[in-house]
Amino acid sequence: MRLIFILVVLTTSILFLFGLFSERTTAAIGEVTEDTNLPEDTQKEAIIDSFLSKSEIEINDNKDVKDQSPLSPEPRSLLREERVKPMHEESSPAFRVMGWYFKAGYSLQPKYEYWLVAGKPYVLRTKIAKNSASFIDTEYHWYQYKGNDYWEQLKHEHSKEITFEADHEETRYYQATAQVWPSIFNPLLYSRMTKVNFLPKPVEAKGLKLTSDSDYIYVDKELNYQSIFLEATPDPINATGEILYSVKNSQKSLATIDPHTGELFPNKNGQEGDIEVTATLTNEKPDNADKHYKNKITATKVIHVTHLLTGDTQVYQHTPANYQINGNFNEKDFKIDWYRIETSGRTSSIPNNSTNKYSIPSTEIDNDDNIEIFAKISERNYKPPVDEQGNPILGSDGKPIPQKIVETNHIRLNVVSSSPNIRSSYYIENSNTKERGEKLARVKVGDKLRHDITFADSSTGDAKSFAGQRGELIVFLSQNEKIDKTGVINFNYDKIIKTKINNRPAVKVSGLIVPPLNGGTFTISTEIINKSEKEFIYKPKYSINTKKTKNYETKINTTYADFSEDKISFKPVKKIPFGEHLKLSQVLLSPIINKDTPPYFVEIKDDRRIKDPRRITVRTEGNFYRETYSNKKIFAHMFLKLLKRKDVKESEEWEESGINLNENYTVINSDYNETIESIPWTKFKGHRLFIEDLNYNPGNYKTHLIWDFNNAP
């Protein structure tokens, strides 16, 4: 039970902004009926107990819920339903640390369940990842479940793949073993048990989702050129179409992919870039195919082919040099130490940085030219791997496997003295108010803005090589704006694109050449269509690949727009119902709060630019009354109280006396520059209707809460 008490206060404050004293009221209503057949005392107590138990408030927060259920039931539960036990529990996965295996295991497992069409051959594939001590081939065996807890070894099946088919509808179970040699270091490995359903007819896929082990694949020898796996999941999960994986021919210099397993291998040529992997499911047309049937369903995912460490190799003096370790190396699980090798050859650690990013804020030729940057990565809280029995797994030296510390690739930095000198300015103009500058205030819906960005190339000396180079300008806009048009004055460029970046409207200009002398100006005209953002700071970016450095970024001043309305609005709840009750005895009644009750006692939106202190008080109009047909008010001995909790904070025990609300009670005393928040029902649990005696007639009784908003002293 959390109460209405403060909410009404906030509704009254809007008019007060104009220097007026205002009052707003909220009705508190209840109905009392008289039972002429008065019950016995025991019956009275039972009725009161029943009422009090029903008066407890339950608030259900039913927010929008998105369906996030899996595409099919959890696979292991399906296996339990069939009551088929694996021949042996599947072995623990291979133990890998940043590209190096220290314990063999399955890197590619059979799926928990397959859905296939009877009458066609299929291939079930696995793959073993070997540790560094494994230098001989692996021996495989396949087993099929025959019933009654009996698993039969399949003859002539000694490879990592098995081909099978069924000529009718049935369900089979398979499991494989693999012996990595030498066996002294490698126990027998058991694959996951898989359930294979052969269906009489194909099941059409409507969708496809593509996921991967990682978003990165590394071209570093230090990481053993480790591959990753991508896996496509159809919707529905029991779709029977074949799935194949591919990459574009133009990207095969970066990485290659196994079309059947989705294993992606980096090439060893050191090339970096982004590669787009496509999974394609080919449907077999079912008899009941509708007009939405598609023969092929595809899904794509971008994988970054990169070094473990990437960053600047050449920068202009007094500009930053930035470095990043690619991948999910968070501070919680990994320890990262950064180093630099000076021109003298001395290696020094970089203190106070354990994140995956490092930056030299302003480079100097004397300090930073020709240095090398690298990092070392290790696992925090490392524990040597153990087998299924909990025994330490031993390496080739017969000792528990030690922690491996990976050293990233090194990046050499060249600092160039002569940097480009690009002058720039950025102003916004409100066409409706004629206000212009780096800051705009009181921007309203319907206003039209014009953004003017001017560049001029004033480079001298060696930096003149910058002239004529094409760059990219990106201007991010507020979500309140709709782009009307763009304009160019004295600029050469390739194309202008109106787009969205991170769900934010933006304009991208590619191939932009900055002219010398007076330069050129790029303009964007927008219209304010909403106020989803109260304010916005505009931070455009212009970057260029010069002959000496990549992504040289020109400094552009920021601008600012204020979209707030400079007012405060209050919306108190209209009614506070106390329900219908029998005339029995003195009683304290709680208000009725249910799923239809507004979320706030008083909903407040405080958009004042200058937030003066405010005092908000509440009082009742008087005792409860009912109105006759002649509009005459008949008062009863029932009034509102605010009970206080007993000593313990959040205690549900209340002091009986409470505060009578016949006089102003201060609800909020705000400070200067404090935003007044909406008041939830949960803020005042002690709000009660007190029925003092029974000397009144049955009927509907009500009173009002009066909220006052004043400047605080």
Helix runs in 324-460, H state only = 365-368
H or E segment and range at residue 212 = strand 207-212
Residue 372 within a domain: yes
Domain boundary among 141, 158, 192: 192
Residue 552 within a domain: no
Mean pLDDT of the chain: 80
Same domain for 624 and 641, yes or no, is: yes
Secondary structure in 3-state letters for 296-324: EEEEEEEEEEECCEEECCEEECCCCEEEE
Mean pLDDT of 61-74: 32
Question: What are the DSSP E strand ranges found in 34-191?
Answer: 95-97, 100-103, 105-108, 113-117, 122-125, 127-129, 138-147, 150-153, 161-164, 170-180, 189-190
Residue 408 within a domain: yes
Report the domain count for the chain: 5
Same domain for 507 and 427, yes or no, is: yes
Same domain for 408 and 436, yes or no, is: no
Same domain for 646 and 571, yes or no, is: yes
pLDDT tens, 128-159?
Answer: 876 654 456 788 999 999 998 899 999 877 88
Same domain for 597 and 701, yes or no, is: yes
Residue 43 in this model has a pLDDT that exceeds 50 = no
Model confidence band, residue 324 (pLDDT cutoffs 50, 70, 90): very high
Residue 621 in this model has a pLDDT that exceeds 60 = yes
**Lowest pLDDT segment from 108-122, 294-308, 390-404, 549-563:** 390-404
Model confidence band, residue 233 (pLDDT cutoffs 50, 70, 90): very high
pLDDT tens, 406-439?
Answer: 899 999 999 988 777 788 999 999 998 899 999 9
Residue 555 within a domain: no
Domain boundary among 241, 271, 286: 286
pLDDT at 51: 33
Residue 363 within a domain: yes
Sign of the torsion formed by the C-alpha atoms of 297, 302, 305 and 308? negative
Residue 200 in this model has a pLDDT that exceeds 50 = yes
Same domain for 220 and 180, yes or no, is: no
pLDDT at 97: 58
pLDDT at 41: 42
612 Cβ partners below 8 Å, 6+ apart? 672, 711, 712
Q: What is the pTM of this model?
A: 0.56
Model confidence band, residue 110 (pLDDT cutoffs 50, 70, 90): very high
pLDDT at 529: 95
Same domain for 411 and 436, yes or no, is: no
Residue 616 in this model has a pLDDT that exceeds 90 = no
Is residue 271 a contact partner of residue 254, using CB atoms and an 8 Å limit? yes
pLDDT tens, 329-338?
Answer: 877 888 999 9
H or E segment and range at residue 689 = strand 687-691
Backbone phi and psi for residue 82, each to the nearest 5 degrees, phi listed first:
-80, -15
pLDDT at 579: 83
Same domain for 588 and 690, yes or no, is: yes
Same domain for 589 and 533, yes or no, is: no
Residue 5 in this model has a pLDDT that exceeds 50 = no
Same domain for 523 and 478, yes or no, is: yes
Mean pLDDT of 536-550: 83
Q: Which structure tokens are listed for 352? A: 């106070």
Residue 14 in this model has a pLDDT that exceeds 50 = no
pLDDT at 3: 30
pLDDT at 370: 95
Burial of 707 (0-12, 13-18, 19+ CB in 10 A): buried
How many other CB atoms sit within 10 Å of the CB of residue 15? Answer: 14
pLDDT at 8: 34
> C-alpha 539: how far from its chain's center?
23
Three-class SS state of 461: helix
For residue 247, what is the domain's CATH number?
A: 2.60.40
pLDDT at 690: 78
Residue 611 within a domain: yes
Residue 358's domain spans which residues? 313-416
Model confidence band, residue 198 (pLDDT cutoffs 50, 70, 90): very high
Same domain for 539 and 446, yes or no, is: yes
Residue 275 within a domain: yes
Cα distance between residue 368 and residue 412, in whole Å: 10
Residue 536 within a domain: yes
Domain boundary among 146, 166, 192: 192
pLDDT at 74: 38
pLDDT at 117: 94
Cα distance between residue 633 and residue 624, in whole Å: 9
For residue 412, what is the domain's CATH number?
A: 2.60.40.10
Closest CA to 194 of 223, 151, 227, 234: 151
Model confidence band, residue 657 (pLDDT cutoffs 50, 70, 90): low
Give the whole-number percent of the chain exceeding pLDDT 70: 80
Residue 49 in this model has a pLDDT that exceeds 70 = no
Same domain for 638 and 526, yes or no, is: no
